[in-house]
Amino acid sequence: MKLEIPLLKPYFDTDELSELERVLDSGWVTQGPKVNEFEDKITKYLGIKYSIAVTNCTSALHLALLSIDVKKGDEVLVADYTFPATGHAVLYCRAKPIFVDVDSKTYNLNPEVIGEKINDKTKAIIPVHTFGQPAEMDAIMEIAEDHNLRVIEDAACALGAKYKNKYAGTIGDIGCFSFHARKGITTGEGGMVVTNNKNLAEKIRNLSVFGMSSAWDREKDDRFIIPKFTELGYNYKMSDITAAVGVAQLRKLDKILERKRTIAKYWDEKLQEMEFIEAPYVSENAKHIYQSYVVLVDKRINRNELIMMLVEKGVQTQIGTYASHIQHVYNSTQKCPNSLDIFNRSLAIPMYYMLEEKDIDVAATHLKKAVEELKWA
């Protein structure tokens, strides 16, 4: 079945080709000057002090946790409704993820239930800015300060999103971003760690390159230096090929986000005409960037059958994301009823820069018809 209207489609033009050509011509294709340029541009865009480019957001989260010395025996509070990379990063440190339920409207970590999960083993909190809508960071930061906990923002979906005029990812101790194909801008795969803390930044950068100085840093030095491996690090560095795409994409970011908000508004209007489908809620404190446009399907409608019916009509949809506490890998005893309900009812519908209103009209028509059929099933 050919997809007439896909769930997503990255936006590229000749800028990416030009940046890639310059990198290939330079002969320096691993981590080097283009990575430095990409990091500098992210730093300036966010108004943050330090940015470290890495392979993906999962490695960014892993490095962030290692930098604050999360280890075996520690517990980290994690927003339950998230792609399992968030919880996996905690397991990589041999620590235990403690899943915390989310707000049923925003899909984000619910500050009101954080306190009951905190004990003397708790080391950090990871709020997730779900689908590009920032979590309620003031309340989360206040709880963290009261209990002397670190905050690592999983801002994988939220580059350019704002919470009360502060960029998502810049409010906690560390922020982690993704450049996966479904994100606002993409490098195919890629990630970024940001922080205002110099010591954490140096630790993260060192750990991202095997626990040694980077090849490009050594290349710039007038001396001949044999690197020393001071601690167990990882090969999490970004390449200049990847960064070249990122530099070109970042120039488009504001344009992409503006267009996606326009598309979201049009979807909102179409869904007002539809029963059994609830449009996403937007907090008054948030500037939502709609990495995904995720609706809730009424409990009387079989969401999975709806996905299959729509793909038969050439319209691609997908679940929102996962209720982490029910994934077998975690062996969790936590109960997160809001997250579980959203997991069972969420539906991501087409959202990308090149999506046109006429495409939404077609997709909405198929969605309405499919829901009408299923409500009688």
Contact 313, 3 (CB under 8 A): no
Within 10 A of 229 (CB to CB), how many other CB atoms are there?
11
322 CB burial (10 A radius; 0-12, 13-18, 19+): buried
Closest CA to 78 of 363, 92, 245, 67: 92
- 226/239 Cα distance (integer angstroms): 22
CB-based contacts of 301, cutoff 8 Å, min separation 6: 276, 371, 374, 375
Q: Where in the sequence numbering do the catalytic residues fall?
A: 183
Residue 51 C-alpha from the chain's centroid: 16
- Collapsing DSSP to helix, strand or coil, 102 comes out as strand
H/E stretch holding 268: helix 253-271
- 307/218 Cα distance (integer angstroms): 52
**Phi, psi of 42, rounded to the nearest 5 degrees:** -65, -45
Contact 167, 23 (CB under 8 A): no
> Where are the extended beta strands (E) located within the chain?
50-54, 75-79, 96-100, 122-126, 150-154, 162-163, 166-167, 174-178, 191-195, 277-278, 286-287, 293-297, 346-349
For the chain, the residue count is 377
Q: At what angle do helices 357-374 and 303-312 cross, to 10 degrees?
A: 130
User: What is the dihedral angle through the alpha carbons of 259, 263, 266, 267, rounded to the nearest 10 degrees?
Assistant: -160
Contact 245, 16 (CB under 8 A): yes
Closest CA to 18 of 312, 197, 322, 245: 245
